């Protein structure tokens, strides 16, 4: 084995190149807080003497380093250094550490155990071959142990090392070890789809059973942690799957060359192979496989390539190139498993962005079927998913995507959920299967169109969307506006918040989730009114910017007119015609906008009206003037 001092003097890239032929094993360490993940990683790096880490390079030159012969790094100092990284904020990301032995190269995903960083752990697990689940022998199986185990199983990790750590704190008791293994096995049998569980009694601090057998556990005859990692078979399943390559960009430096660049997600490809491009379904034949090192005769999963085709066909970023004889599916509605990662709860009915490989489209979350209690494994009814909760949910996309189920091909079956307003990743999901109704329901072409209906009425259909606090004057202004438009011979329809809740939305309350669904339904109804050629006047508090933007995108930017009735809260309370604010202040009306539930003011509405400065008549005239000019 090479020592750290050798690596410090050697260019890392050159060293990696020398080890190019070694097998690469990716693994993740996870478990609850203080189960000993950093100590275990530190021990493995220390014992293997093969750390590729800038932090340790700095330690090598540090005057406080405890030196030994051959330049070994003091183990306590190494672990202190790893712990110090967490204090410096590195816990917000996954820390990937690299080391090597004579047989293999390793990438370990070092993820924090705190519950708020579950998203980081899920990210690290998504590419792992093996998961090391640590359990503190003095604590036993904890909720985070179960949650992390469930997630690694969910994302397709089939082999687990159950590392029962800190055996030195319980006098290396076989009874404690056997009890924890029995508890975990019961949980795994009921909840996890695993190929194998290998339980190892360890003390990461003392080094027991990390790289070799320990005299402190004579009752244990199994492999050490490193023995297992050195000998476990690395499943090259990604190479055995059918060919899939998401197109990242189209490379056309001149008229003679047009290639499609990307990273091969699974399978292999060779010149002459017949391929199909999805979602269009167009077929062609591979002409060349181009790389910086030259053309290849074969390329497999994980390789960055540029493919040229025998035919000139339309391909763009987001398309998927697949084998023609076994292409992936194409659909726009799915059943999925979702891990929610955001502090704000997941809202069924709200629109998010769906991102899978290079494919991006709008996504609407359907009603949750259930959430999964990681402690009891019960499927519990719920309306929302809170942070770190896992649930099963149908989703609907605004356009068809190419896909495989996650269990068939993680490359094509995994996705992330992005908040449209903040652009933050708020969840991750796995596709179980496409919903058959996605293939059985088709958009019916009609001869009478929105344009012809509007022409018949001699008007331009619009959605005038009033938003503002209760008591701001929305309904009063909308009522006057419609009367004035009708007097001008315009064809109109009004949708009012209170009126709609007496019929279409009578089943909805005023929770955040119900408010989201309320506006989703109203948005779809408003779109139907626009399609009928009408001027639709909708008056709803609509407190969330995300839902207002959803309605805007639903009907189209040119037909959506947002009217913000910008009346101060204290003025709305003074009016309080319905006595609602008084009840809300008294705690009799929970989730009341402006008091116990937020109102997100429009950022850039088409029209802003301050009713403390203008009358309702003047406000209506102001809106009509805008309509006539736009």
CB 312 within 8 A of CB 362: no
pLDDT tens for each residue of 203-217: 988 989 998 899 999
The dihedral sign for the CA sequence 587, 588, 592, 594 = negative
Give the whole-angstrom CA distance, residue 22 versus residue 106: 10
In a domain, 443, yes or no: no
Q: What is the DSSP string of 105-170?
A: EEEEEE---SGGGHHHHHHHHTT-SEEEEEEETTT-S-HHHHHHHHHHHHTT--EEEEEEE-GGGG
CA atoms within 13 A on the CB side of 150: 25
pLDDT of residue 476: 92
In a domain, 79, yes or no: yes
Residues 429, 307 within the same domain: no
Looking at residue 346, which CATH number applies to its domain? 2.40.30.10
pLDDT of residue 240: 74
Residues 315, 335 within the same domain: no
Asked if the model's pLDDT at residue 359 lies above 90, the reply is: no
Residues 114, 167 within the same domain: yes
Residues 273, 351 within the same domain: no
Residues 175, 301 within the same domain: no
In a domain, 445, yes or no: no
This prediction's pTM = 0.62
Residues 37, 114 within the same domain: yes
Residue range 278-282: mean pLDDT, rounded = 86
Q: Dihedral, CA atoms, 42, 46, 48, 51, nearest 10 degrees?
A: 70
Confidence of residue 364 (pLDDT cuts 50, 70, 90): confident
pLDDT of residue 80: 55
Closest among 187, 164, 188 to 176, alpha carbons compared:
164
pLDDT of residue 52: 42
Residues 492, 610 within the same domain: yes
CB 595 within 8 A of CB 584: yes
Which 3 state secondary structure label does DSSP give 409? coil
In a domain, 444, yes or no: no
pLDDT tens for each residue of 137-158: 999 998 888 888 888 887 778 8
Percentage of the chain exceeding pLDDT 70 = 84
358 token code pair: 């290079």
Asked if the model's pLDDT at residue 198 lies above 50, the reply is: yes
Q: What is the DSSP string of 204-245?
A: TTTTBTTSS--TT-TT--S--HHHHHHHS----HHHHSPPEE
- Judged on CB neighbours under 10 Å (0-12, 13-18, 19+), 416 is middle
Residues 199, 308 within the same domain: no
Q: For the chain, what is the mean pLDDT?
A: 81
pLDDT tens for each residue of 31-82: 877 778 888 888 887 776 543 444 334 333 332 333 333 333 455 554 454 4
pLDDT tens for each residue of 217-241: 999 999 999 999 998 887 555 667 8
Report the number of distinct structural domains present in the chain. Answer: 4
The DSSP element (H or E) to which 83 belongs, if any, is: helix 75-87
- The last residue of a domain, from among 307, 323, 339: 323
pLDDT tens for each residue of 448-504: 888 888 888 899 999 999 999 998 999 999 999 999 999 999 999 999 888 888 888
392 token code pair: 């099963």
pLDDT of residue 180: 95
pLDDT of residue 243: 92
pLDDT of residue 49: 54
59 token code pair: 């330690």
Q: Give catalytic residues, as residue numbers.
A: 542
Strand partners of residue 24:
105
Residues 340, 315 within the same domain: no
pLDDT of residue 53: 42
pLDDT tens for each residue of 367-407: 788 888 876 777 888 888 888 888 899 898 888 888 888 88
- The last residue of a domain, from among 276, 300, 323: 323
CB 159 within 8 A of CB 196: yes
Give the whole-angstrom CA distance, residue 533 versus residue 536: 9
Residues 160, 13 within the same domain: yes
CB 192 within 8 A of CB 183: no
Residues 280, 387 within the same domain: no
pLDDT tens for each residue of 76-103: 554 454 444 444 433 345 567 777 777 8
Residues 163, 202 within the same domain: yes
- The last residue of a domain, from among 288, 323, 358: 323
- Count of C-beta atoms within a 10 Å radius of residue 577: 9
Percentage of the chain exceeding pLDDT 90 = 31
Give the whole-angstrom CA distance, residue 584 versus residue 107: 55
Q: Which domain holds residue 420?
A: 329-436
């Amino acid at each position: 084995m090479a020592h750290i001092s050798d690596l410090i003097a050697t260019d890392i890239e050159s060293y990696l190149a020398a080890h190019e032929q070694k097998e690469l094993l990716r693994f993740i360490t996870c478990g609850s807080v203080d189960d000993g993940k950093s100590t275990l990683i530190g021990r493995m790096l220390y014992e293997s003497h093969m750390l590729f880490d800038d932090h340790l390079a700095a330690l090598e030159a540090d005057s406080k380093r405890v030196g030994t012969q051959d330049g070994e790094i003091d183990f306590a100092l190494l672990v202190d250094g790893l712990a110090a990284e967490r204090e410096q904020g590195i816990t917000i990301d996954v820390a990937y550490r690299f080391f090597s032995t004579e047989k293999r190269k390793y990438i370990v995903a070092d993820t924090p155990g705190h519950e708020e960083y579950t998203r980081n752990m899920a990210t690290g697990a998504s590419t792992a071959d093996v998961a090391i689940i640590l359990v503190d022998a003095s604590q036993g199986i904890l909720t985070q142990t179960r949650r992390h185990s469930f997630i690694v199983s969910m994302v397709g990790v089939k082999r687990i090392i159950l590392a029962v750590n800190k055996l030195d704190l319980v006098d290396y008791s076989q009874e404690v070890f056997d009890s924890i293994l029995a508890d975990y096995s019961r949980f795994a049998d009921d909840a996890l789809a695993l190929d194998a569980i290998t339980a190892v009694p360890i003390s990461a601090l003392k080094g027991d059973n990390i790289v070799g057998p320990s005299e402190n556990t004579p009752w244990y005859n199994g492999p050490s942690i490193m023995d297992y990692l050195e000998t476990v078979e690395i499943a090259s399943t990604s190479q055995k799957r059918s060919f899939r390559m998401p197109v990242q960009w189209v490379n056309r430096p001149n008229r003679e060359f047009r290639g499609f660049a990307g990273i091969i997600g699974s399978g292999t490809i060779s010149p002459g192979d017949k391929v199909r491009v999805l979602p269009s379904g167009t077929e062609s034949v591979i002409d060349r496989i181009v790389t910086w090192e030259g053309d290849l005769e074969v390329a497999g999963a994980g390789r960055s390539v540029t493919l040229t085709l025998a035919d000139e066909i339309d391909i763009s970023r987001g398309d998927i190139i697949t084998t023609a004889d076994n292409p992936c599916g194409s659909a726009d509605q799915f059943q999925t498993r979702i891990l929610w990662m955001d502090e704000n709860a997941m809202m069924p009915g709200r629109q998010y962005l769906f991102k899978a490989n290079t494919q991006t489209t709008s996504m609407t979350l359907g009603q949750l079927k259930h959430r999964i209690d990681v402690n009891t494994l019960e499927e519990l009814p719920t309306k929302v998913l809170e942070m770190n909760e896992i649930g099963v949910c149908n989703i609907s996309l605004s356009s068809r995507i190419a896909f495989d189920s996650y269990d068939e091909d993680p490359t094509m079956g995994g996705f992330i959920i992005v908040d449209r307003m903040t652009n933050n990743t708020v969840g991750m999901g796995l596709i179980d299967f496409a919903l058959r109704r996605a293939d059985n329901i088709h958009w019916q072409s009609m001869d009478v169109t929105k344009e012809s209906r509007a022409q018949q009425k001699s008007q331009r259909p619009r959605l005038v969307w009033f938003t503002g606090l209760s008591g701001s004057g929305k309904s009063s202004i909308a009522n006057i506006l419609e009367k004035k438009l009708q007097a001008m011979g315009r064809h109109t329809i009004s949708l009012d918040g209170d009126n709609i809740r007496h019929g279409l939305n009578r089943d909805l309350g005023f929770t955040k989730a119900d408010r989201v669904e309320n506006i989703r339904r109203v948005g779809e109804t408003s779109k139907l009114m626009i399609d009928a050629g009408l001027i639709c006047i909708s008056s709803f508090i609509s407190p969330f910017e995300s839902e207002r933007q959803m309605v805007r995108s639903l009907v189209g930017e040119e037909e959506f007119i947002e009217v913000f009735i910008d009346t101060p809260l204290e003025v709305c309370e003074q009016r309080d015609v319905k006595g609602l604010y008084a009840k809300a202040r008294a705690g009799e009306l929970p989730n009341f906008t402006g008091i116990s539930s937020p109102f997100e003011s429009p950022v850039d509405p088409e029209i802003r009206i301050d009713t403390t400065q203008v009358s309702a008549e003047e406000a209506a005239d102001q809106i009509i003037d805008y309509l006539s000019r736009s």
